[in-house]
Structure 1
Amino acid sequence: MPGLLRGVARTAVVAGTATAVSNRVSRRQAGRWAQQDYAQQEQYARQEQYAQQAPPPAAPPPATTDDDMSRKIDQLKQLGDLKAQGVLTDEEFAEQKRRLLG
């Protein structure tokens, strides 16, 4: 009977140790998951904050050079000639002029 009692005691010790180790592993894994969730929530919050920020201001229009200006003047002259010839109506001329000058 002492051998049987010793076997039962040994089994109880092994089972208790296994339970303690299993609980510790579970708690540690739960802590890791909580850290990952927290990190993901922080990242999501930063993305939301970034998305709500005002967009950057629009770039200023490029400066016109002398070549650009002379090209536009030539095109305006051509439009004026077409209007004088009756090819363009007043509305068409005004629309083309507006597109050309921006």
Structure 2
Amino acid sequence: MPLRRGRIGRPGLLGTMARTAVITGTATAPPVDLVGKLRQLSELHSAGALSDAEFAAAKKQLLG
């Protein structure tokens, strides 16, 4: 039985649509796990890896 390799030739409709969405800027970004990111920042801050100023700046950037 021969090994199947990837698709050869022109891309399928879905691939073309996805590339078009990215190029035109209509592709949506995956949702951000805001609570998870804030928890991670808090843990870094508690462990001393982030200063108060760094923690506040990172939190402000996440929250907008």
TM-score, length-scaled by structure 1: 0.32
Q: How far does residue 79 in structure 1 lie from its aligned partner after superposition?
A: 0.1
The CA RMSD measured in Å over matched residues stands at 1.0
Between the two proteins, what is the percent identity of the paired residues? 41
- Give the whole-Å Cα distance in 1 for the aligned partners of 2:60 and 2:46: 18
| 2:49 alignment partner, one of 68, 83, 87 | 87
| 1:73 alignment partner, one of 35, 54, 59 | 35
Q: How far does residue 87 in structure 1 lie from its aligned partner after superposition?
A: 0.2
Q: How far does residue 85 in structure 1 lie from its aligned partner after superposition?
A: 0.4
- Give the whole-Å Cα distance in 2 for the aligned partners of 1:98 and 1:78: 14
Secondary structure of the residue aligned to 1:96 is helix
Q: How far does residue 91 in structure 1 lie from its aligned partner after superposition?
A: 0.3
Unaligned runs of 5+ residues in structure 2 are 1-30
Secondary structure of the residue aligned to 1:82 is helix
- Structure 1 segments of 4+ aligned residues over 4 angstroms from their partners: none
TM-score, length-scaled by structure 2: 0.50
- Give the whole-Å Cα distance in 2 for the aligned partners of 1:77 and 1:85: 12
- Point out which structure has higher relative CO (alpha carbons under 8 A, 6+ apart): 2
Larger C-alpha radius of gyration, 1 or 2?
1
Counterpart residue identity of residue 57, structure 2: E
Secondary structure of the residue aligned to 1:88 is coil
How many pairs align?
34
- Give the whole-Å Cα distance in 1 for the aligned partners of 2:62 and 2:51: 16
Higher helix fraction (1 or 2): 1
Secondary structure of the residue aligned to 1:86 is coil
